[in-house]
Amino acid sequence: MNAVKVARQRLVITVAAALSLIVASSVVRAADTPDGWITMKAKIALMTADNVSTSDLNVDTVNGVVTLHGKVPTEAEKTRAGEVTMKVGGVKSVKNLLQVVPNSARNVVDRADSEIKDAVEAAFKANKRVNDSGIGVASVNKGVVLLSGKTKSLDAHLEAIQVAHAVRGVRRVSSEVQVDMPSPTTF
């Protein structure tokens, strides 16, 4: 558990530093942030957030207004998803259309961490964008996959999280990946 807490703290520090650099290098207003960038950042935030199930969750953005669609098992997760999304830079407001559908028969697969790590690494190798991205698996602890590395593509970062999330036995994905990319105003 301590490794997960340390990883989470590192992720928060990394994200805070990256956002500070973006804000320091250019004044970014919500109206100036491209919708595609907001959508990717929201998906990454949701997929790496504690207490938010993302297996049936969709994100759409129009003019800085993010709409969340899909299903979550509890009202608390619906609320948490809205809060996480609202913290993403460039988001003007969130339309939370998530439906609360309890997971009464959820199948949680118990699998050894070493098997999960091998399976995620194999899935990364099978995906050209992720394989060439510089992103790798730092560790797996009780089904929580920690990604690390440096990449120049926010798309590759999101895809790596999605690929890892799809592996049988993965309970959650956390990320310490550093994305070196231009500010969203240059898109």
Distance between CA atoms of residues 166 and 145, nearest Å: 11
The DSSP 8-state label assigned to residue 74 in this structure reads S
**pLDDT band, very low/low/confident/very high, at 172 (cuts 50, 70, 90):** confident
Report d(CA 128, CA 146) in Å as an integer.
20
- Please determine, for residue 18, whether its predicted confidence score (pLDDT) is greater than 80: no
pLDDT for 30: 45
Q: Identify the pLDDT of residue 50.
A: 87
Q: How far apart are the first and last CA of the chain?
A: 39
Q: Which domains does the chain have, with CATH numbers?
A: 1-29+108-187 (3.30.1340.30), 33-106 (3.30.1340.30)
Q: What is the mean pLDDT of residues 158-175?
A: 90
What is the pLDDT at residue 33?
85
Higher-scoring residue by pLDDT: 98, 108: 98
Amino acid at 24: A
Residue type at position 14:
T
Residue 41 has a pLDDT of 93
Lowest mean pLDDT among 2-6, 15-19, 56-60, 166-170: 15-19
Q: Tell me the whole-structure pTM to 2 decimals.
A: 0.59
pLDDT in tens, 25-38: 544 444 478 999 99
Count of alpha carbons within 13 Å of 89, Cβ hemisphere only?
Answer: 18
- Mean pLDDT, residues 122-144 taken together: 92
Q: What is the pLDDT of residues 62-85, one digit of tens each?
A: 999 999 988 888 899 999 999 999
Quick one: what percent of the chain has pLDDT higher than 90? 48
Averaged pLDDT, 2-24: 63
pLDDT at 54: 77
